[in-house]
């Protein structure tokens, strides 16, 4: 087996892309999208009809049209994966709990109108305090959530408290920050701070018997993927999936599930404690804020693209 096939034996492989042709070729179980990936795919001629269809349905409401675009891509993706697709709400809502819930409910309704059961959809929200609380309410309503832009154990703990289905700790963006701020350091292999962060979260969840699953995300190179082989899920861009598929180097399992050390769940984080701990983590607070800004900027670009159709 090639390394991609080996990885699939120990980890659920997810495609991190809005490129439906690439997903069809690589055959992952699940797929994840975000505003940036939808914008990239929407700019390609073969997917322009998915934008035109949304714009025609909501010619005078760009917000509704953008939500519909994400659903249109999700529906097409679900024709080619057996599992679930993650669909992200507008990043502008990252600090508005009630508006995040309302957006998620609309997205689920749009999927249901297209004949897609909500069990096949993960709603993606930024792992702000408000996003996590929105996810807690959605999970109570039977809508499963994927908490994204996650850079710290503090965020992971709050997600576990909220009972969310899945978290997506960002490997590559953590590495980016450390390379920028500590350029003299060796961050290869096991020294990669993004890899170390995901391992720490994974081990914490397993030690405490937490049901929320960990999906490593935002990879910069194959070595990061190799270091996290065995994680519950890994969402990987098509170019890195292709590199794994064509490589001949064997893959070794690095993360192993373990028996929970205690059946007693840790004490839940209060909002003030969450905000203080996140504030004290310069990297996590920097990257969370930056990620929200970037996704919001790409959301605006998507709106501009729709307005020209």
State which residues form the domain around 146: 3-307
Report residue 265's pLDDT band, with 50, 70 and 90 as the boundaries: confident
Compute the radius of gyration of the chain from its Cα atoms: 19
Contact 217, 34 (CB under 8 A): no
> Could you tell me the pTM of the whole model?
0.96
Which is the catalytic residue, given 8, 118, 124, 157?
124
Residue 270 half-sphere exposure toward CB, CA atoms < 13 A: 3
Token duo for residue 304: 């501009």
- CATH number of the domain within which 161 lies: 3.20.20.70
| Nearest alpha-carbon partner for 201 in 213, 186, 188 | 213
Looking at the structure of the chain, the number of domains it has is 1
* 124-182 residue pLDDT tens: 999 999 999 999 999 999 999 999 999 999 999 999 999 999 999 999 999 999 999 99
Token duo for residue 60: 């005078």
53 is catalytic: no
* 79-124 residue pLDDT tens: 999 999 999 999 999 999 999 999 999 999 999 999 999 999 999 9
Q: Is the pLDDT of residue 215 over 80?
A: yes
* 30-71 residue pLDDT tens: 999 999 999 999 999 999 999 999 999 999 999 999 999 999
Q: Helix H segments across 43-96?
A: 48-57, 62-78
3-class SS at 277? helix
Q: How far is it, in rounded angstroms, from Cα 143 to Cα 185? A: 42
């Amino acid at each position: 087996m090639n390394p991609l096939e080996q990885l699939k034996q120990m980890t659920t492989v997810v495609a991190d892309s809005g490129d439906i042709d690439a997903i069809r070729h690589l055959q992952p179980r699940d797929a994840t999208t975000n505003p940036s990936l939808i914008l990239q795919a929407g700019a390609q001629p073969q997917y322009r009809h998915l934008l035109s269809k949304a714009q025609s349905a909501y010619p005078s409401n760009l917000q509704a049209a953008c939500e519909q675009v994400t659903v249109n891509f999700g529906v097409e993706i679900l024709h080619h994966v057996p599992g679930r697709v993650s669909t992200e709400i507008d990043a502008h809502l990252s600090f508005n709990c009630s508006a995040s819930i309302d957006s998620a409910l609309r997205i689920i309704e749009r999927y249901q109108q297209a004949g897609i059961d909500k069990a096949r959809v993960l709603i993606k929200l930024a792992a702000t305090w408000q996003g996590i609380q929105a996810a807690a309410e959605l999970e109570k309503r039977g809508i499963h959530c994927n908490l994204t832009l996650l850079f710290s154990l503090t965020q992971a703990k709050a997600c576990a408290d909220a009972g969310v289905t899945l978290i997506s700790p960002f490997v590559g963006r953590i590495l980016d920050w450390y390379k920028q701020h500590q350029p003299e350091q060796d961050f290869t292999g096991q020294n990669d701070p993004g890899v170390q962060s995901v391992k720490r979260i994974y081990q914490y969840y397993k030690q405490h018997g937490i049901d929320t699953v960990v999906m490593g995300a935002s990879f910069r190179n194959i070595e990061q993927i190799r270091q996290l082989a065995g994680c519950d899920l890994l969402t990987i861009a098509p170019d890195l999936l292709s590199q794994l598929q064509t490589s001949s180097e064997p893959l070794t399992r690095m993360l192993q599930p373990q028996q929970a050390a205690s059946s007693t769940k840790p004490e839940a984080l209060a909002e003030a404690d969450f905000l203080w701990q996140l504030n004290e983590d310069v990297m996590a607070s920097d990257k969370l804020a930056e990620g929200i800004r970037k996704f919001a900027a790409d959301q605006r670009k998507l709106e501009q693209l729709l307005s020209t159709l």
